[in-house]
């Protein structure tokens, strides 16, 4: 029995085990667990990849705030599928090509950018940084990235554009109160935005099970920031100032392409449709 145990220990450590199906699984699992103890960076300059920021966020953010930024809809199925899809993408290197003078500069709908990296619209950013979208705008300015501003921003679009030193794209959640949407579009255009990004995959409230679990686990009293309900929450969003709206009015289950036509009549901004997954 002792001889058999030693043989199995030898086999488990052998690279030959990787030739079997079971061995390959064991090797992959061993590789995943072979890293050093988790290191929390103390400054952005220490980051080796974006997941270093994730590790810090998981430790320092309030429970529900972390849940908001880290989870997806339903049971995170799409979030997991996206990560899995990226793992299957490989870059085929071209050798013996002069790469001494590379440039990532590009142009998207007339915006000249240092790289094709785009900061997607994320609302309520003051939940993560005292200066919210203003800090994000300054980061986008420093690196020459495009910033898309959520219409549930915690800073007015005029202030964000001033911080970036260039126009942002304005993301719009459609609303069944057309006067609200129209006022937001007109305000964004007047502020200097040249592109409106219409979200079409939130025609009604989304089902976010993991987020709800994080919120339920958060023992803080959040009413100071969020109020007692969604009607109080919307009062904290400056893009709704002056619209007369007391709620988000996001029930757009009857939305069709006619909504794009109404936007086209209301603004001269270019229109990008966000959320199309089928043709």
Q: Is 237 exposed, middle or buried (0-12, 13-18, 19+ CB in 10 A)?
A: buried
- Residue 255 main-chain phi, psi, to 5 deg: -70, 135
Q: Does the pLDDT of residue 11 top 80, yes or no?
A: no
Q: Counting Cβ atoms within 10 Å, is residue 239 exposed (0-12), middle (13-18) or buried (19+)? A: buried
Which parts of 50-186 are beta strand (E)? 106-108, 111-113, 118-119, 146-149, 169-172
The answer to whether the beta carbons of residues 162 and 246 sit under 8 Å apart is: no
Instruction: Provide the 8-state DSSP code for 76.
Output: S
The fraction of the chain above a pLDDT of 90, given in percent, is 55
Q: How much is the mean pLDDT over the chain?
A: 85
pLDDT band at 33 (very low <50, low <70, confident <90, very high): low
Place of tokens 């990532």: 104
Q: For residue 84, what is the DSSP state?
A: H
Q: Spell out the domains of the chain, with CATH numbers in brackets.
A: 107-204+221-274 (3.20.20.70)
Strand partners, 173: none
pLDDT given for residue 15 in this prediction: 45
pLDDT mean over 44-61: 92
The mean pLDDT value for 41-63 works out to 92
pTM of this structure = 0.82
Q: Supply the pLDDT for residue 9.
A: 53
**1 band by pLDDT with thresholds 50, 70 and 90:** low
Q: How far apart are CA 149 and CA 136, in angstroms?
A: 10
Distance CA 83, CA 182 (A): 36
pLDDT, tens only, 163-174: 999 999 999 999
């Amino acid at each position: 029995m002792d001889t058999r145990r030693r043989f199995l220990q030898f086999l488990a450590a052998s690279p030959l085990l990787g030739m079997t199906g079971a061995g390959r699984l064991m090797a992959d699992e061993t590789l995943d667990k072979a890293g050093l103890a988790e290191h929390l960076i103390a400054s952005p300059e220490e980051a080796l990849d974006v997941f270093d920021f994730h590790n810090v966020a998981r430790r320092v953010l309030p429970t529900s705030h972390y849940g908001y930024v880290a989870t997806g809809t339903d049971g995170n199925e799409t979030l997991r599928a996206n990560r899995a899809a990226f793992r299957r993408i490989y870059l085929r290197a071209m050798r013996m090509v002069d790469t001494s003078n590379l440039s990532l500069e590009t142009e998207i709908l007339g915006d000249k950018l240092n790289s094709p990296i785009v900061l997607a619209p994320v609302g309520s950013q003051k939940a993560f940084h005292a200066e919210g979208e203003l800090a994000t705008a300054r980061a986008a300015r420093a690196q020459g990235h495009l910033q898309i501003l959520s219409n549930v921003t915690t800073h007015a679009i005029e202030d964000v554009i001033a911080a970036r030193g260039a126009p942002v794209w304005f993301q719009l959640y459609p609303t069944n109160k057309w006067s609200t949407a129209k006022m937001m579009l007109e305000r964004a255009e007047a502020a200097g935005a040249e592109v409106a990004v219409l979200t079409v995959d939130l025609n009604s409230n989304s089902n976010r099970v993991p987020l709800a679990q994080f919120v339920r686990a958060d023992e803080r009293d959040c009413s100071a920031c969020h109020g007692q309900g969604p009607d109080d929450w919307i009062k904290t969003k400056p893009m709704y100032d002056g619209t007369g709206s007391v709620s988000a009015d996001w029930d757009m289950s009857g939305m069709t392409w006619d909504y794009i036509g109404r936007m086209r009549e209301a603004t001269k901004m270019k229109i990008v449709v966000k959320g199309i997954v089928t043709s």
